[in-house]
Structure 1
């Protein structure tokens, strides 16, 4: 067995974030008596993606990220509601949504006690801890590393360094990260000097110039790579 530590991204890798996000938006709109139209959802996703890119490049902090996407959305749609209030409401709904991808629970349970595992995720602490805590795989990880808590998002090396400090005596060549995001997960792993596995369930073409050591379309394929 080459690897002694596997670092898993959470959303888009083990957890179905798109489903959680959609339900949280629908719940938020219902509470506020807003129409949760396709346009509303698509605009939110556009602004949310941009705000997350700003966060990962350290242009904004987590506190700004929380409400900025709603401010941009409401400005576009001319909705007069406090974005900070809506953000608090939305994040509470989101924290209650915990959906694993098919095969994720099976994979993690198969790897448990064979290899050390941690989750390393960019996200908001109270949301991620609650969502992961509600899942069937919560107790199988040594550590849950959240960018909001360590003050460093992927792809920065600091979050990887802080994670590896938990594993005394483990060399980088014995560590692999598995994630769906080429920029934050794969580039982050490459820059830190560990092996990388790109989870690409939709089999999209990679023209980013960021090349992982491995590519999989089913999360269960990790088992053959890691162990």
Structure 2
């Protein structure tokens, strides 16, 4: 295989990320029937916060606080408590995406594997342990720990340093987000593969080296 290193995003690349299900599970523990309208309102707050986080305008702690500040006041608990309960709920319902386990098993021993994620430590580490994926990936680079988020080139440079500075053309970054994963990888000089199951058009100014609709397709691309 050509690539010596494969770097993966985590949420919606290796793992199914159903925020609505996680929030319903979390809020049920506080006696709240969290519905679709509640989720729509949550997303109207959460999504701009993620953009601000990825742009470096707010910290991970600020994101986690602000997205639950209103609910925390309503339920008379701290935003930190709600955020931790949400991450625990997401860990409880975690599942690898179809083809993820077969792909990782097939790549093990043929390439070195790592993860670069903008997700939060409390979820990422537990989820890797529960899915028995933890030993497959090194490095595990989490933006919350580094203080930089994709697409900032600095988080990719940090990962490359941990990897021993391999030739960049031998490193493939795989992710579902064209801006944080693909543009970020391209700006760091890496080869990129956009996981695009919905068949969305490629955003202007972003040119991934490869595009696949599933991890099964990526499997065939890399190993057949």
* Aligned counterpart for 2:117 among listed residues 115, 121, 124: 121
Paired position in structure 2 for 1:220: 216
CA RMSD for the aligned pairs? 1.9
* Aligned counterpart for 2:32 among listed residues 34, 48, 52: 34
- Number of residue-to-residue matches in the alignment: 222
Aligned equivalents of 1:207, 1:224: Cα separation in 2: 25
1:172 Cα deviation (Å)? 0.5
* Aligned counterpart for 1:70 among listed residues 68, 86, 89: 68
Paired position in structure 2 for 1:5: 5
Pairing of 1:56-135 with structure 2 (within 5 A): 56-71=54-69, 74=71, 79=74, 81-82=76-77, 84=79, 85-135=81-131
Segments of 5+ residues of structure 2 without an aligned counterpart are none
Segments of 5+ residues of structure 1 without an aligned counterpart are none
TM-score, normalised with respect to structure 1: 0.90
Pairing of 1:184-199 with structure 2 (within 5 A): 184-199=180-195
Paired position in structure 2 for 1:165: 161
Compare 133-142 and 81-90 and name the one that shifted more: 81-90
**Contact between 1:7 and 1:117, CA under 8 Å: does it hold in 2?**
yes
Question: SS where residue 17 of structure 1 aligns?
Answer: coil
Aligned equivalents of 2:165, 2:140: Cα separation in 1: 20
**Contact between 1:68 and 1:83, CA under 8 Å: does it hold in 2?**
no
Whether 1:25 aligns to 2:26 is no
**Contact between 1:122 and 1:153, CA under 8 Å: does it hold in 2?**
yes
Paired position in structure 1 for 2:51: 53
Whether 1:204 aligns to 2:200 is yes
Aligned equivalents of 1:163, 1:11: Cα separation in 2: 18
**Contact between 2:139 and 2:163, CA under 8 Å: does it hold in 1?**
no
Closer, same or farther: CA 79–216 of 1 in aligned 2, 3 Å: same
TM-score, normalised with respect to structure 2: 0.91
Compare 5-14 and 123-132 and name the one that shifted more: 123-132
**Contact between 1:97 and 1:131, CA under 8 Å: does it hold in 2?**
no
Whether 1:183 aligns to 2:179 is yes
1:115 Cα deviation (Å)? 0.4
Q: Which deviations, in whole Å up to 9, do the C-alpha atoms of 1:164-212 show, x marking residues without a partner?
A: 1122251001101000001100010011011110000111222343121
**Contact between 2:168 and 2:189, CA under 8 Å: does it hold in 1?**
yes
Aligned equivalents of 1:163, 1:68: Cα separation in 2: 28
